[in-house]
Amino acid sequence: MPDDSLLHRDTRRLDGLVAVVTGAAFGPKAALGSVFAAALAAAGASVVVADIVDAEPVAAALRAKGGRAVAVPVDVTDEGAVEAMAAKAEEVFGRLDILVNNAVVGSNIPPVPLAELDVAAFDRVIAVGLRGSVLCAKAAAPRMARNGWGKIVNIGSTTMQEGLPNRLHYVSMKGGVLALTRALARELGPQGIRVNTLATGLVANPAAGAAFAARPELVAKIRAARAIPEDVTPDDLAGPLVFLCSPESDAITGQFIVADKGAHFT
């Protein structure tokens, strides 16, 4: 028989914890981030909703539902701004326990071959997705270490596994994010900080809307290739994210966790 404690776990398993989610404003490019912020708040966490654009509507919506949330403007490529974001989390909520590195650009850049690669666009994708994740981890880790516990979840992509052609900027960045995850897991583990990558493939959200409309045959092919032949939605990622941010996943670090309904097995 299962242990009763496993059958009756408190769904608010993040009570008392403080989370920062980057790239979490409303809008087509941040659909995942706002869902992640809502999921963490519903699980009991106080949430810093961070984005380079106005994130106050997301924070206000969370507060209206009884959550604790504050919006913080941040450019994740700016070290000073990132440090100020982490300091704001401590100022408002008293601590920092969870970091979700979700800020990204480039997922919807049209595919181009190497010969036509815009190096400035490549640099921007790397700066936001990889440099931004490094800077956020650098600001968050010392604060987590003071409490002897922390969770960093980097948002990855299965495009890195596929080596998807003509998307060198995005694939390279996501590959770097996984390497960062593994290096940080080794470095920060002795301080009680767990670091993982949560990855998916094509997600049915506003950011992918144009792709879904323009290439229905491709979307159907992707859907059919999944063990569960359905669309993957932002809500499908909320449960795995909360789990990776909770004490329930304390034995998991340095891992590439794929939530794509069985398109890829790792």
Higher pLDDT pick, 165 / 126: 126
Q: Would you state the structure tokens that stand for residue 99, as one six-digit string?
A: 């970091």
Higher pLDDT pick, 106 / 77: 77
Domains and CATH numbers, the chain: 11-204+234-257 (3.40.50.720)
Instruction: Determine the average pLDDT of the residues in 47-59.
Output: 96
Which percentage of the chain shows pLDDT scores above 90? 67
Q: Is 27 a catalytic residue?
A: no
According to the model, what pLDDT value does residue 10 have?
A: 53
Instruction: Determine the average pLDDT of the residues in 58-77.
Output: 97
Higher pLDDT pick, 38 / 261: 38
According to the model, what pLDDT value does residue 6 have?
A: 37
Cα–chain center distance at 177: 11
DSSP strands (E only) in the chain: 18-22, 46-51, 69-73, 98-101, 150-157, 193-200, 256-258
Higher pLDDT pick, 200 / 144: 144
249 pLDDT band, cuts 50/70/90, is very high
Residues linked to residue 256 through DSSP beta bridges, in sequence order: 197
> How far apart, in whole angstroms, are the C-alpha atoms of residue 185 and residue 195?
5
Instruction: Determine the average pLDDT of the residues in 5-17.
Output: 67
Residue 51 contacts residue 30 (beta carbons within 8 Å) = yes
According to the model, what pLDDT value does residue 28 have?
A: 46
Q: Would you state the structure tokens that stand for residue 152, as one six-digit string?
A: 């960093």
According to the model, what pLDDT value does residue 201 have?
A: 75
Cα–chain center distance at 166: 24
Q: What are phi and psi of 118, to 5 degrees?
A: -85, 110
Instruction: Determine the average pLDDT of the residues in 42-63.
Output: 96
> How far apart, in whole angstroms, are the C-alpha atoms of residue 179 and residue 187?
12
Higher pLDDT pick, 117 / 204: 117
Within 8 A by CB and 6+ apart from 24, the residues are 30, 33, 34, 36, 37, 49, 50, 51, 55, 58, 102
Higher pLDDT pick, 243 / 11: 243
User: What are the b/e assignments for 199-234, b being 16+ CB within 10 Å?
Assistant: bbbbbbbebbeebbeeeeeebeebbeebeeeebbbb
Average pLDDT value for the chain: 88
Q: Residue with structure tokens 């979490």? A: 24
At residue 2, does pLDDT exceed 70? no
Instruction: Determine the average pLDDT of the residues in 99-125.
Output: 90
Given the residues 26, 93, 170, 256, the one annotated as active site:
170
According to the model, what pLDDT value does residue 212 have?
A: 58
At residue 110, does pLDDT exceed 90? no
**What single-letter amino acid sits at 259?**
A
Residue 198 has what DSSP assignment?
E
Which of these, 47, 48, 50, 39, lies nearest to 12 by C-alpha position?
Answer: 39
> Helix 132-147 vs helix 79-93: angle between axes, to the nearest 10 degrees?
30
Structure confidence by residue, pLDDT tens digits, 176-224 = 999 999 999 999 999 999 999 999 877 766 655 555 566 677 677 777 7
Instruction: List the single range of 13-17, 65-69, 212-216 with lowest mean pLDDT.
Output: 212-216
According to the model, what pLDDT value does residue 231 have?
A: 76
Instruction: Determine the average pLDDT of the residues in 37-51.
Output: 97
16 pLDDT band, cuts 50/70/90, is very high
According to the model, what pLDDT value does residue 96 have?
A: 98
At residue 5, does pLDDT exceed 50? no
